[in-house]
Amino acid sequence: MDEPNEKNTPVIPEGDRKLQDLITELKAHKGENHLIVLQEFPDPDAIASGFAHQVICRAFNIRSTLVYCGRISHQQNIALVKLLGIEMMKYDTSIDLMSFDGAVFLDNQGTTVGPVSAALEERKIPTLIIIDHHEPQEGLKPVFKDVRPKIGATASIYAQYLKNGIIEIKTSDKTHVMMATALTHGIITDTNGFVYAHKEDFQAAEFLAEYRDADILAQIMNQSRSKQTMKVIHKALGSRKIVESFSISGVGYLRADDRDAIPQAADFLLTEENVHTAIVYGIVSGDNWDESVVGSMRTNRITIDPDQFIKEVFGRDASGQYFGGGKMSAGGFHIPLGFLSGGDDPDYQENKWAVFNEQILQKIYLKIGAKAQKDKKETRE
């Protein structure tokens, strides 16, 4: 088992108390069982950060379980989990949450995790730790919080913890090599291949380079798009509306298993000439899934803040939680349909989609100052 690096005091940059506070918090919970909560559809940054936290927990004699609510459907995410042997549990109501002493939220702040957060609160399971790189969100009140929106990936924060000695990382330890490989992949994907990387992200990748397995990393990153993903991208291209250099596309109904095609379609639409922002959305449905409008936003315009944009366009739910948010260059939204969920009749589904599609378009048009163009023939290329 790994051992915390307790040779004297861990080497911490002057003025940086976060690592010391985290070590203190972990030591205080020795022997406990923690639930590590990831987003409904965890991306590589979340999965890698969860894996790293799990490895660190073992060194402090803390048991931990990674949990998520939705699906792991992106081809690279499936490869990441399988090739690195990362164990994750899909949440359902049969899980005994009372067996956990505390909860840890990584790469999120409790607003994108589905029903897990509410279930933990109902059972009075305390929130111990939040570590994230998105804009600060309201709601959870953890004992320890490290939220850094000016860093490109949560994986970079964990690489910094490792570099500064939270545990001793060794190239001879296969688990450490897998952890470093996962963290590297998380940084690459969340910074769009370092295009949006900050100094800390480059420093993190440099540190991890000594430990990661380049061959496995290449295998993870070289996964082909599925046929279904290509179909969604094709549909996004065909239905897109280009207004004020925004490419906006509704792709209709998708299975929950294909939800990750939405951000891939947004990435693709952003590559079109004279487009600086892409928004793709659809109604996601499936077995054991609450029907919802799910969307992704991508932008390369520095003056557009996806977090602010999405919050202003879609607002909050009845409990006061925003329907979405984001970070530099990317964001997402998830709007449960509630009472209007369900219905298999094709005509009913078509009518329901038409209403939601029009409502979303109106809200986006109003935000970008293009409402007057709604009644005109929008540009399609």
pLDDT confidence tier of residue 173, bands split at 50, 70 and 90: very high
Residue 257, CA distances (Å) to 27, 71, 152, 217, 289 in order: 39, 6, 27, 24, 10
More confident residue, 325 or 73: 325
Does residue 85 surpass a pLDDT of 70? yes
pLDDT band at 288 (very low <50, low <70, confident <90, very high): low
- More confident position, 288 or 275: 275
pLDDT at position 122: 93
pLDDT band at residue 93 using 50, 70 and 90 as cut-offs: confident
Q: Between these two residues, 290 and 162, which has the higher pLDDT value? A: 162
Distance CA 156, CA 202 (A): 9
Average pLDDT of span 323-332: 84
Compute φ and ψ for 160, nearest 5 degrees.
Answer: -65, -40
% the chain with pLDDT above 90: 67
Confidence at residue 4, expressed as pLDDT on a 0 to 100 scale: 61
Domain boundary assignment for the chain: 18-221, 227-375
* Residue 228, number of CB atoms within 10 A of its CB: 14
Quick one: average pLDDT of 330-342? Answer: 87
Residues 372 and 349: beta-carbon distance below 8 Å: no
pLDDT surpassing 60 at residue 290 = yes
For residue 311, CA distances in Å to 137, 262, 325, 326 come to 11, 19, 6, 9
Say if residue 321's pLDDT is above 90.
no
| 120, pLDDT greater than 70 | yes
pLDDT at 296: 95
The chain-wide mean pLDDT, for the chain, equals 89
Label residues 317-347 b or e (16+ Cβ within 10 Å = b). Answer: eeeebbbbbbbbbbbbbbbebeeeeeeeeee
Query: Mean pLDDT lowest for which of 10-19, 161-170, 190-199?
Result: 10-19
What is the CATH T-level fold of the domain 227-375, as seen in this structure?
Diaminopimelate Epimerase; Chain A, domain 1 (3.10.310)
* pLDDT for res 42: 93
256 burial class (0-12, 13-18, 19+ CB within 10 angstroms)?
buried
Q: What percent of the chain has pLDDT over 70?
A: 92
**Which pair of tokens denotes residue 129?**
């730790």
User: By three-state DSSP, how is residue 62 classified?
Assistant: coil
What is the average per-residue pLDDT within 40-47?
93
Q: Which of 52-61, 267-276, 369-378 has the lowest mean pLDDT?
A: 369-378
Q: What pLDDT score was predicted for residue 227?
A: 87
- Which two three-digit tokens encode residue 55? 């490895």
Taking 3-state DSSP, the helix, strand and coil percentages for the chain, each rounded to the nearest 5, stand at 40, 20, 40
Confidence of residue 74 (pLDDT cuts 50, 70, 90): confident
Strands 246-255 and 241-243: antiparallel
Asked if residue 302 has pLDDT above 90, the reply is: no
DSSP H or E stretch at residue 351: helix 346-368
Instruction: Give the integer Cα–Cα distance in Å for 142 and 146.
Output: 10
pLDDT-derived band at 375 (thresholds 50, 70, 90) equals very low
Contact 194, 208 (CB under 8 A): no
The larger pLDDT score, comparing residue 318 to residue 368, is at: 368
Q: What is the pLDDT of residues 121-131, one digit of tens each?
A: 999 999 999 99
Burial track 234-252 (b if 16+ CB lie within 10 A, e otherwise):
ebbbeebbbbeebbbbbbe
Q: Given a cut of 50, is residue 14 above it in pLDDT?
A: no
According to DSSP, the residues that pair with 335 across neighbouring strands are: 293
Whether 116 contacts 97, CB under 8 Å: no
| 212 contact partners, CB below 8 Å, separation of at least 6 | 177, 180, 181, 183, 184
Residue bearing the bigger pLDDT, 171 or 16: 171
CA distance 310 to 145: 24
Per-residue pLDDT tens digits for 184-232: 999 999 998 898 899 999 999 999 999 999 999 999 988 877 888 899 9
Are 39 and 67 contacting, i.e. CB atoms less than 8 angstroms apart?
no
pLDDT above 70: residue 378: no
Is residue 15 very low, low, confident or very high in pLDDT (cuts 50, 70, 90)? very low
Query: What is the model's pLDDT at position 224?
Result: 75
Note the pLDDT of residue 379. Answer: 42
Domain 18-221 coded CATH 3.40.50.150: no
